[in-house]
Chains A and B, each alone.
Chain A
Amino acid sequence: MGRIGTAGPAASAALTLVGCDGPQSALDPAGYDAQRLADLFWVMLVGALLIWIGVMVLALYAARRRDAPEGAANLLILGGGVIFSVAILTALLFYGLLLMGQLRAYSGAG
């Protein structure tokens, strides 16, 4: 197991089975840029798994629930589809763009 990101120790522990090492592995970073990008991946992986589990739980609940009150429909579509996704994506985009600026400045490109 190589150095892993600060953000996803739990997830990475679960993934120890898969293994992150290897001479060409992006998850076994050997430099500054690679380290930051590996961190980014672990953050996104944890977020993605949480969202995926959330959607699946919601879908299973929907399959069991019968005749829920319709007033909640717009709340679900607006809350889940618009507000939640805009918030998450905006935060992620800021993180990604800031990182891009730093990496490009650091490597002297762009």
Chain B
Amino acid sequence: MTDKTKVSSQDQEELRRKQEERLLTAWSAPKSWRYWSAVNNSEVGQWYTLTALSFLIFAGVLALIMRAQLAVPDNDLVSPDLYNQLFTLHGSVMMFLFAVPILEAVAILLLPELVGARDLPFPRLSAFGFWCFLIGGVFVCGSIFFGAAPSGGWFMYPPLSSDPAQSGIGADIWLLGLSFIEIASIAAAVELIVGVLKFRAPGMRINLIPLYAWYTLVVGGMILFAFPPLIAGDILLEVERAFDWPFFDADRGGSPLLWQHLFWIFGHPEVYIIFLPGVALIAMIVPTFAQRPVVGYSWIVLAAVGTGFLSFGLWVHHMYTTGLPSVSLGFFSAASTAVAIPTAVQIFAFIATVMFGRLVRSVPMLFAAGALAIFVLGGLSGVMVALAPFDWQAHDTYFVVAHLHYVLIGGMLFPVIAGVYYYFPFVTGKALSEKMGRIGFWLMFIGFNVAFLPMHFTGLRGMPRRVYTYPEGLGWDWLNLISTLGAFTLAAGFAAIVIDIFRPKGKQPYCQRNPWNAGTLEWLEEIPDQPWGVRSIPIVQHRYPLWDDPDFIGKVDRGEFYLPDAEELRRETMVTSVLDAEPIQCLRVPGPSFLPMITAVFTGAAFIAATFHLYWPTLAAGILAFASLIFWLWTGTAEIPEKEEKDVGLGLSLPLYRSGPHSVGWWAMFITMLGDAAAFASLIFAYFFYWTIHSDFPGSPTGAWALFCYGIGIAAVLGAWALTFASRRWNAAGAVSASRLAIIAAIVLALASGAALLAAPYIDGLDPRLHAYPAIVWILVLWTVAHIGIGVVMLGYCLARSLAGRLTPRYDIDICNVALYWHFAAINGALAPMLVALFPLAV
């Protein structure tokens, strides 16, 4: 070796060390009490996961109390009312505080590393979502210690849940506490969708996306369209409870069945929202332990997407006994059985992967095998209850309890534990115990089957769900006793896993890097973990880059790819195009901040105060939440960089600021508004649902003055939309003053539109407490006016940004995103008034 090359290699070493120092400065988590201001996906993902696991343990304990109560006939361990609270909270917590959040938590933890990014697109939004989840979850769970937990079943059917005297404060806690969390879930879904679409490493075209990311994309899309109908239903039910608007009161033109539709349009996709991320973990684990790429990649992706679509066409199979016509039952029976087909495709693809590879035995594979055995049985009993005639017998019996636990524990809990054992070294750098894992598995597997297999027969022998006790002699006694023994065995197995997770591991050595010899990008991670995620952002040309190129890790570590440095000590990652993952921007993501936590605390306070009908504190907390949100946006988003472009390495220079469809913010707005449109569509659905079941709907035809007001409202909202659009164009063209004037004019028109729309039903004398017709009209109008109001706030924000020099012709993210919002607001603002004004005249 010559002197010259020796010197240059020393220089290289020195440069790399300096780069690492700078990356460390940029990405290190804050210390001591400021640790809780962290927003990076590693920290937030870990908090999220641990919180969700805590809720699992809480809800599991509730289940054990129930099993103890049911162990023997005529037991009086718990009172009937407490039992109602136990099963309602068990179901609600498992669904809303464990199953959905754990999978979002895991995705937040894994996704950036999996696609070769350094963070998620909106780290502070993930942090906000986490704090909302924690506050809302503790509030809902804590209610049982005050005897105030919801007690109407996890699906909250009216009229039981709409009668404040019968359901008490618990139903309000359910409706508001969980709505708050659902909003956080939607925020996480938006984040994950944008992450998959825009944050993939360069070269990772859509046919190279890891399966986990595909599943995350599908599930994110499902959350986006499934949760809004429930939120719409929650709004209607809470308004009925609080203000006596009779949406679900059959005496006054409402219908309790409307709730069942809205709930299950959410509730059935929810099953797949829970199940698909479980499969996603299996899809990462199986190829690793088969030591070969997955077989039938395209089939699996197609099946996942197909499941997502089909899952929205099955909801009525929860309503077979409500007296629907045979045609509906036939259609939904067919759709419900059809969804088994893509599921079978996925299962066979994983079996084929194992068959064509060389299986390495391990605890994650053991749990995957257990999941298969349990889930297939749950799927088969699902096909049974998908047939309407059999469901008439099994409906609301323990057969259904057995079925749903087979599906959820096989499809979700076992895969999650497989994932915990698989990814534990990724998160902590240390392995979990093989021995404890096996003990835990066998106790759980045997305990589960002992608990839930007999329940099929308990159900067929006629035991209904949700009864707090039962008399002797109906043939349920010893079946229940066996189930109880099984449940405690299952819990013991789970306790072994929990002990394994939390036992101190200080003396245990770190495991080697990429301990399972996996092929996907997340295993690039150094052990112990470095806060920057990937040392340099690689170019990906293969589905399993670590298997494809043995020196891949070396190249990444030596900083031979993009962004190996943080010259300005900022957190940076790459944005790429949606289909081909071509680099389009170097994005600076925000660092630690307490603002998400503060905003979440005030938002939570507003929801909690509203639960207790304390409207002044609600208003105060709402204003504080709004103020912190604006402060957060103003100081933390659409930052104007100090230079246009940045050299990201390998001779590539990328812009630091992009707006419109090239920016991640535009995508987030677009995706959020799709979810918003789904909620709006649910309210429209409610309107037409009343029309199909009640001959006297709609009520009186719209009066002339009301028509006039609706017309003014529509014209003004369209004018505001056109002016917003023009303002964006003029701003981009450099006509800043014209752009500002257009914003002011748009605000004036929007306010006029809101006033006219509120005046119209008032002039018509519609009293929302009298009948479901005026109530649904008022809700549609209020929904529209609220959207116009939010649009006004956004316009005011843009005007202020423009005046403050933070929104300029070159740097125009704010107005681009607001114009996008107004496209949706205009559609809503034109459609809803047209419907409520003209439909009563047309029929």
Residues of A within 8 A of B (CB): 18-27, 34, 36-37, 40-41, 44, 48, 51-52, 55-56, 58-59, 61-70, 72-74, 76-77, 80-82, 84-86, 89, 92-93, 96-97, 99-101, 103-104, 110
Return B651 CB to nearest CB of chain A, in Å: 39
Please, which residues of chain B bring their CB within 8 A of the CB of A52?
376-377, 380
The answer to whether A77 and B390 touch across the interface, beta carbons within 8 angstroms, is no
Could you tell me the distance between the alpha carbons of A59 and B372 in the complex, rounded to whole angstroms? 9
Q: What are 21 of the A-B contact pairs (CB < 8 Å)?
A: A24-B461, A24-B462, A25-B460, A26-B462, A40-B387, A41-B460, A48-B384, A62-B352, A66-B359, A67-B357, A73-B296, A77-B296, A77-B345, A81-B299, A82-B345, A93-B334, A93-B337, A97-B330, A97-B333, A101-B326, A110-B326
The answer to whether B390 and A96 touch across the interface, beta carbons within 8 angstroms, is yes
Please, which residues of chain A bring their CB within 8 A of the CB of B384?
41, 44, 48
B13-33 near A? 1/0 per residue, CB < 8 Å: 000000000000000000000
A20, A27, A59: the one within 8 Å of B354 (CB): A59
Please, which residues of chain A bring their CB within 8 A of the CB of B351?
55, 58-59, 62, 76, 80
The answer to whether B352 and A76 touch across the interface, beta carbons within 8 angstroms, is yes
The answer to whether A73 and B352 touch across the interface, beta carbons within 8 angstroms, is yes
Return B484 CB to nearest CB of chain A, in Å: 17
Q: How many A-B residue pairs have CB under 8 A?
A: 161
If the complex has contacts A18-B457, A25-B462, are A48 and B338 also in contact, measured as CB distance less than 8 A?
no
Not counting A20-B461, A77-B299, a sample of 14 additional A-B residue pairs whose C-beta atoms are within 8 angstroms of each other reads A20-B460, A21-B475, A22-B475, A23-B462, A25-B461, A52-B380, A55-B376, A63-B354, A66-B358, A70-B356, A81-B348, A82-B345, A93-B337, A97-B333
Could you tell me the distance between the alpha carbons of A85 and B303 in the complex, rounded to whole angstroms? 14
Could you tell me the distance between the alpha carbons of A92 and B454 in the complex, rounded to whole angstroms? 25
The answer to whether A62 and B354 touch across the interface, beta carbons within 8 angstroms, is yes
A-B pairs, top 5 by smallest CB distance, nearest first, are A24-B462, A81-B345, A22-B475, A96-B387, A62-B355
Please, which residues of chain B bring their CB within 8 A of the CB of A22?
461-462, 474-476
If the complex has contacts A55-B372, A89-B337, A93-B337, are A27 and B344 also in contact, measured as CB distance less than 8 A?
no
- Which chain B residue shows the least CB distance to A71? B356
The answer to whether A100 and B329 touch across the interface, beta carbons within 8 angstroms, is yes
Return A59 CB to nearest CB of chain B, in Å: 5
Please, which residues of chain A bring their CB within 8 A of the CB of B678?
none
Please, which residues of chain B bring their CB within 8 A of the CB of A100?
326, 329-330, 333, 387-389
The answer to whether B359 and A40 touch across the interface, beta carbons within 8 angstroms, is no
320-335 of chain B: CB within 8 A of chain A: 325-326, 329-330, 333-334
B468-486 near A? 1/0 per residue, CB < 8 Å: 0000001110000000000
Please, which residues of chain B bring their CB within 8 A of the CB of A104?
326
Could you tell me the distance between the alpha carbons of A59 and B352 in the complex, rounded to whole angstroms? 9
The answer to whether A73 and B462 touch across the interface, beta carbons within 8 angstroms, is no
Return B322 CB to nearest CB of chain A, in Å: 13
Please, which residues of chain B bring their CB within 8 A of the CB of A89?
337-338, 340-341, 383
